[in-house]
Structure 1
Amino acid sequence: MAGGASALNSNSTTTIRIVVAGDRGTGKSSLIVTAAAEAFPANVPPVLPPTRLPEDMFPDRVPVNVIDTSASMENRGRLAEELKSADAVVLTYACDKPSTLDRLSTFWLPELRRLEVRVPVIVVGCKLDLRDEQAVSLEQVMSPIMQQFREIETCIECSAFKHIQLPEVFYYAQKAVLHPTAPLFDQEAQTLKPRCVRALKRIFILCDNDRDGALSDAELNDFQVKCFNAPLQPSEIVGVKRVVQDKLSEGVNENGLTLTGFLFLHALFIEKGRLETTWTVLRKFGYNNDIRLSDDQLLPPITRSPDQSIELTSEAFEFLRGVFSLFDIDGDGALNELELEDLFSTAPENPWNEAPYANAAEKNALERLSLDGFLSQWALMTLLDPIRSVENLIYIGYSDDPSSAIRITRKRRVDRNKKHSDRNVFQCFVFGPKESGKSSLLNSFVGRPFVEGYTPTIEERYAVNVVDQPDGTKKTLILREIPEDAIEKLLLNKDALAACDIAVFVHDSSKESSWIRATELLVEIASHGESTGYEVPCLIVAAKDDFDPYPTAIQDSTRVSQDMGIEAPIPISTKLGDFNNIFGRIMRAAEHPHLSIPETEAGKTRKHYHRLLNRSLMVVSVGAAVAVVGLAAYRVYATRKNA
């Protein structure tokens, strides 16, 4: 495997902006002028205008703009602006002035951190021709500074007057932008970074056509041609494998170069400063500088209405079932933590380790993810973040057109008009006052045992599972718990209910205050739906049915249900495990949204007004039509009479 010059990836800038900074008198301007003009200047202005270096100075042939700066106090604001917009920073000190070297660690490098300038830094010792011959070496001087400031990419000494290593200064700066070390390699641990390992593992698997866990000579040659547009000679292949085997016996087996050997080679290239080799490989397979697939490898922008959602297609689910079976190594019908991590080992990270996906799906008694739980997690991620969902499908091996993995559902308004929804994934917003039992409802949905005591929900959380249908099929239900304190902020958005298939209002059936607050929320949500056109079906859940209801509970609930035209509250007890088929009832109401949409008094008044208005318009229209017909008849009569 040989190296080669790489092209910028699609997300990269077409011109690299290098900002040169440092104390006054350290040779910044002379460095820039001499590199650009290839001649040491007789007179140099205090600060140069932006200087463009010729493209043919560098093997990547990417244009470089160099920005000179002033270190004076009155120009400090301008300096900060320039540094913040840099692709790389060259920090200079004068080899004949040790105080300017000290200033790197006491001022300049801390200042870059204060300004949050997170780009590669090249430290340059100028005026090498004036350095004391007895001075310590560059390595001895810079080693402790580089240990403290990991953002330093490299250090170099130069002389503008003697024309020593001037092109190299800007070559290293350009290289640090095009082929940065930080995403690939941990300098302290001297190992490849996890995300780099994951990307290279995916590339290895894509190139291992016969799936035997090793790259044969033919597969190695195909890889070389794809990445570097040049084949490997048989002797070169033998040489590559010998280098690996001498250092790492498990890096080569009878079938060829193993994944261990493949990773070792890339670590070796990086250690030898040949980062362009690894970056060329990554970019050929569509990775950007964050070591994620670039946008052109993913879904194009999705255009949809607020009340349309995204679901995975049957083809995508079929692919996921195959992946699940492949990684269920012990064949127990569930994925343990190690199997799940292995499944996502070719993605930048396991996307389900953090909220809102962590603990959102059902696991068995051994904390393992069943097939239903696995597919539910994918349905949740596709609903919330379809671009990321499809991105992760590609990481784990989905090779068809990314657009074939998803479908856009029809509008919820159309579902209401047609009195039926054709969705496979439904989202239920769960509202209710504090201590009403919302969290217990979500926990029971994913099979978690009832827990005594109250723990307030601070942020929204999700629970997702499949619900068996009467016809034997399965559909996915997503419960989204919305804390009471978050409702006001939610409803500031006029499209807040557009993504909601059904709303559930939970109250503690033993407390009248809980019921009153739940009905207030019901009216609030129903009113918002009526005013925005996103009416949603609603159900009331009377939780904690194991307690005695408050005295007027039945009369109150009957009155509210009848007045608003929805089903009476559904009693459940998560403590006793008595759920009254609540999740099936939620699903049925969501599938037939026209049956459970509540009406407020304001909504009824508005409908009555529209009926009267329509009736009046109809009367006026009929009257106008009669008048027109009468006029026409008169004209006919008059014509005949005159004749």
Structure 2
Amino acid sequence: MAKPSSGTVNPHSRTGVRIVVAGDQGSGKSSLIITAAADNFPVNVPPVLPPTRLPEDLYPIEYLSPSSDTSSRTSEHSDKVAEELQRADTVVLTYACDRPETLESLSAFWLPHLRKLEVKVPVIVVGCKLDLRDENQQVSLEQVMSPIMQQFREIETCIECSACRHIQVPEVFYYAQKAVLHPTAPLFDQESQTLKPRCVRALKRIFILCDHDRDGALSDAELNDFQVKCFNAPLQPSEIVGVKKVVQEKMSEGVNERGLTLTGFLFLHALFIEKGRLETTWTVLRKFGYNDDIKLADDLIPPVKLAPDQSVELTNEAIEFLKAIFDAFDGDRDGMLRPRELEELFSTAPESQQSVLGWNSNMKDACQKRNALGDYHWMLFVEFSLQWSLMTLLNPTFSMENLIYIGYPGDPSSAIRVTRRRRLDRKKQHSDRNVLQCFVFGPRKAGKSALLNSFIGRPYSEGYNPTNEDRYGVNVVDVSMENKKYLVLREIPEDGVRKLLSNKESLASCDIAVFVHDRSDESSWRTSSELLVEIASHGEDTGFEVPCLIVAAKDDLDSFPMAIQESTRVSQDMGVEAPIPISVKLGDFNGLFRKIVTAAEHPHLSIPETEAGRSRKQYHRLINRSLITVSVGAAVVVVGLAAYRVYSCRQERSRVGKVLVVVGWTITN
């Protein structure tokens, strides 16, 4: 086998490849390593070699390779062998071409042993001592290894060599390094002989980015630009013709009158991989920012730095981009995306749209309506934008990452804005946020879930399904013709309040809190009011006070006795608005969602105050007054002393002046 060309410089961040050579005793491990390192066949071969660094100038890849030889002499060395294998980046398994039993040992012991140790790295099988093989038993390497490779898919490459005759020794370590730096497994399914789905998605995104005129094909100019970007060298016209000819001969749909199609682009990469030129595809992927998992590298996504009481929103540029891409994939122009169209929109992301927009099961149905069967059949743009806004609020880095995947053209940081701190909003008595988060508290069966369902347009149901973990609902609230806000309702189960408040900064992300109770149930009211006090106290203690509203749900039922007096007393004592009566069953919300948004927009109002909080504030006011009195008294004393000194000084000057005049007059006379 001829030695492959070195290809382009690999931008991989790895500084070394740890190659562990293992195999039966006498299979040629040590001779292979020494010959590769010293370029000289050893006369006396030690039983086990220490880690050996291969010379950089002998290998086309720029990374040095600390190689390690493992002994298989006795069971006492098994632990050491296992440790070395588990630290490997790639494993070279050797057998002796003149000893068939060492070949059988690979499938009988070594390959199963690697699986038992959970060593999930590429394996290179090397037949050593090629010069000693019996000439009367000439069998092709493919015939020998094909059954083993079918059984053990982790085998990357098979090669034969002779350390004594210096035959293909460098190639062994070249392929070992290549298996790490340009692995096959993430790109290609050996069993089906096809590109893996994630690889297809990445290459499709690259194709779309290079298809500048968006006509579905790479013209000669676009193909040349792609070549220059990835390989720093242009294609000659004859080379472009040759590339398209190869594709067209294999599949006619790979080329059309406009140029190389996506089908042809994918075919070329499958062809490169089949021919062992994985470095070509990896160079392309890494040039466009992909890592070894065929996901965007972390350094391509700008970090988001924000204080606990700040939030992240999509910018107008990002929303305009989402509208444009929504329209582009709305093939039938019906103003909605069906599952097939949604899947196509996200076909350039590593995972499907269910994994992107439904990245958390709690938020999967945060805004979409369901049909009678509970299925999603379409998505309007408002729902599409709502899910992106929710994703950006809760995980801005993930949101930016997926915007890049679906083709956001600008700087990723231009897609988001970090809002002003809530503490500053309270001082300025206004919030300019477009996305407001409301925590919904209340006891079981108070009506929290029914409220969320109605908020996102789901029909009322008499059935009770307890909420055991946080749940989200998001929708647009029209406060006025000019004022539209995204409101996120986060339902907090009664059992989840303690866990929430265990974090000192838990209320920092809350713009407003709503406390729901069943107005027909006195115990429901009592629990809800206790939660209100608990949340208010936590806000006072941590400095993350939040506006609060009380909601009296199930207004269609008779209220419990003393309900009005109790609720009036609590609301007046704590300085919040009287409970807002609603009936989800009757569809009467009494303008609740607009009231929530209005209260959140004016965060200095509706902040509850506990007895402890009032006492604390009164104490601080007394201390401040005392300090002011002391300060004023001290200032008066200082000013008085200064005035006295000035007066005394002036008196002294006046007296001296008079004496001088008298003296002068006396002298004159």
SS in 2 for 1:594: coil
Pairs within 5 Å for 1:613-632: 613-632=623-642
Q: Which residue of 2 aligns with 1:214?
A: 217
Structure 2 CA distance for aligned equivalents of residues 328 and 410 of structure 1: 36
Instruction: Tell me by how many angstroms 1:363 deviates.
Output: 4.2
The residue identity in structure 1 corresponding to 2:391 is M
SS in 1 for 2:158: strand
Q: Which residue of 2 aligns with 1:433?
A: 443
CA separation of 1:534 and 1:279: change in aligned 2, threshold 3 A:
same
Q: Which residue of 2 aligns with 1:505?
A: 515
Q: Which residue of 1 aligns with 2:328?
A: 326
Instruction: Tell me by how many angstroms 1:209 deviates.
Output: 2.4
Pairs within 5 Å for 1:188-199: 188-199=191-202
Q: Which residue of 2 aligns with 1:32?
A: 33
The residue identity in structure 1 corresponding to 2:122 is P
Q: Which residue of 2 aligns with 1:443?
A: 453
The one of 218, 233, 237 aligned to 2:236: 233
The residue identity in structure 2 corresponding to 1:280 is T
Asked whether the 8 Å contact 1:4–1:228 carries over to 2, the reply is no
Structure 2 CA distance for aligned equivalents of residues 146 and 543 of structure 1: 67
* Structure 1, unpaired ranges of 5+: none
Pairs within 5 Å for 1:219-298: 219-298=222-301
Confirm or deny that 1:531 pairs with 2:541: yes
The residue identity in structure 2 corresponding to 1:50 is P
The one of 377, 386, 397 aligned to 2:387: 377
Q: Which residue of 1 aligns with 2:658?
A: none
Instruction: Tell me by how many angstroms 1:134 deviates.
Output: 4.2
Confirm or deny that 1:419 pairs with 2:429: yes
The residue identity in structure 2 corresponding to 1:439 is S
The one of 198, 204, 207 aligned to 2:207: 204
Confirm or deny that 1:171 pairs with 2:177: no
Asked whether the 8 Å contact 2:304–2:396 carries over to 1, the reply is no
Asked whether the 8 Å contact 1:5–1:280 carries over to 2, the reply is no
Asked whether the 8 Å contact 1:216–1:255 carries over to 2, the reply is yes
Asked whether the 8 Å contact 1:6–1:279 carries over to 2, the reply is no
Identity of aligned residues (%): 72
Asked whether the 8 Å contact 1:36–1:52 carries over to 2, the reply is yes
The residue identity in structure 2 corresponding to 1:513 is S
Structure 2 CA distance for aligned equivalents of residues 75 and 614 of structure 1: 76
CA separation of 1:481 and 1:144: change in aligned 2, threshold 3 A:
farther
Pairs within 5 Å for 1:353-368: 353-355=358-360, 356-363=362-369, 367-368=377-378
SS in 2 for 1:577: coil
Deviates more, 1:389-398 or 1:419-428: 389-398
The residue identity in structure 2 corresponding to 1:60 is I
Structure 1 CA distance for aligned equivalents of residues 224 and 645 of structure 2: 94
Pairs within 5 Å for 1:143-182: 143-182=146-185
Q: Which residue of 2 aligns with 1:352?
A: 357
Asked whether the 8 Å contact 2:29–2:69 carries over to 1, the reply is yes
CA separation of 1:82 and 1:436: change in aligned 2, threshold 3 A:
farther
Structure 2 CA distance for aligned equivalents of residues 497 and 432 of structure 1: 16
Q: Which residue of 1 aligns with 2:501?
A: 491
Asked whether the 8 Å contact 2:369–2:457 carries over to 1, the reply is yes
Instruction: Tell me by how many angstroms 1:495 deviates.
Output: 1.4
CA separation of 1:562 and 1:216: change in aligned 2, threshold 3 A:
same
Instruction: Tell me by how many angstroms 1:409 deviates.
Output: 0.8
Structure 2 CA distance for aligned equivalents of residues 508 and 44 of structure 1: 85
The residue identity in structure 2 corresponding to 1:354 is W
1:345-390 alpha-carbon deviations (Å, 9 max, x no partner): 1222221143154222234867322121111111112112222212
Pairs within 5 Å for 1:108-187: 108-130=110-132, 134=137, 138-187=141-190
Asked whether the 8 Å contact 1:96–1:131 carries over to 2, the reply is yes
Structure 2 CA distance for aligned equivalents of residues 242 and 585 of structure 1: 67
Instruction: Tell me by how many angstroms 1:507 deviates.
Output: 2.6
CA separation of 1:500 and 1:66: change in aligned 2, threshold 3 A:
same
CA separation of 1:223 and 1:487: change in aligned 2, threshold 3 A:
same
Deviates more, 1:156-165 or 1:244-253: 156-165
Asked whether the 8 Å contact 2:186–2:196 carries over to 1, the reply is yes
Asked whether the 8 Å contact 1:363–1:373 carries over to 2, the reply is no
Asked whether the 8 Å contact 1:87–1:119 carries over to 2, the reply is yes
Paired residues, number = 639
Q: Which residue of 2 aligns with 1:45?
A: 46
Structure 1 CA distance for aligned equivalents of residues 113 and 497 of structure 2: 43
SS in 2 for 1:619: helix
CA separation of 1:509 and 1:245: change in aligned 2, threshold 3 A:
same
* Structure 2, unpaired ranges of 5+: 656-669
CA separation of 1:488 and 1:103: change in aligned 2, threshold 3 A:
farther
SS in 1 for 2:604: helix
CA separation of 1:261 and 1:546: change in aligned 2, threshold 3 A:
same
SS in 1 for 2:596: helix
CA separation of 1:638 and 1:168: change in aligned 2, threshold 3 A:
same
Q: TM-score, normalised by structure 1?
A: 0.92
Pairs within 5 Å for 1:68-83: 68-71=69-72, 79-83=81-85
Structure 1 CA distance for aligned equivalents of residues 550 and 331 of structure 2: 44
1:284-342 alpha-carbon deviations (Å, 9 max, x no partner): 2222222222234332x232211111111112212222112212221122211111111
Instruction: Tell me by how many angstroms 1:629 deviates.
Output: 3.5
CA separation of 1:90 and 1:424: change in aligned 2, threshold 3 A:
same
The residue identity in structure 2 corresponding to 1:119 is V
SS in 2 for 1:472: coil
Instruction: Tell me by how many angstroms 1:424 deviates.
Output: 0.8
Q: TM-score, normalised by structure 2?
A: 0.88
Instruction: Tell me by how many angstroms 1:118 deviates.
Output: 3.0
Asked whether the 8 Å contact 2:254–2:262 carries over to 1, the reply is yes
SS in 2 for 1:19: strand
1:545-598 alpha-carbon deviations (Å, 9 max, x no partner): 333333333333222222211122222232332222222111111111111111
Bigger radius of gyration: 2
The residue identity in structure 2 corresponding to 1:87 is D
Instruction: Tell me by how many angstroms 1:23 deviates.
Output: 4.5
SS in 2 for 1:540: strand
Structure 2 CA distance for aligned equivalents of residues 547 and 23 of structure 1: 82
Q: Which residue of 1 aligns with 2:11?
A: 9
Instruction: Tell me by how many angstroms 1:260 deviates.
Output: 1.0
Q: Which residue of 1 aligns with 2:659?
A: none
Q: Which residue of 1 aligns with 2:317?
A: 315
CA separation of 1:523 and 1:20: change in aligned 2, threshold 3 A:
farther
Structure 2 CA distance for aligned equivalents of residues 517 and 156 of structure 1: 74
Deviates more, 1:165-174 or 1:130-139: 130-139
CA separation of 1:88 and 1:482: change in aligned 2, threshold 3 A:
farther
Q: Which residue of 2 aligns with 1:63?
A: 64
Q: Which residue of 2 aligns with 1:303?
A: 305
Instruction: Tell me by how many angstroms 1:419 deviates.
Output: 0.9
The residue identity in structure 2 corresponding to 1:447 is G
Asked whether the 8 Å contact 1:362–1:465 carries over to 2, the reply is no
SS in 2 for 1:156: strand
CA separation of 1:321 and 1:95: change in aligned 2, threshold 3 A:
same
Structure 2 CA distance for aligned equivalents of residues 104 and 540 of structure 1: 72
Confirm or deny that 1:562 pairs with 2:569: no
Structure 1 CA distance for aligned equivalents of residues 152 and 557 of structure 2: 63
Q: Which residue of 1 aligns with 2:598?
A: 588
Deviates more, 1:364-373 or 1:517-526: 364-373
Asked whether the 8 Å contact 1:571–1:580 carries over to 2, the reply is yes
Instruction: Tell me by how many angstroms 1:432 deviates.
Output: 2.4
CA separation of 1:310 and 1:43: change in aligned 2, threshold 3 A:
same
Structure 1 CA distance for aligned equivalents of residues 145 and 363 of structure 2: 45
CA separation of 1:402 and 1:134: change in aligned 2, threshold 3 A:
same
Q: Which residue of 2 aligns with 1:342?
A: 344
Instruction: Tell me by how many angstroms 1:115 deviates.
Output: 4.5
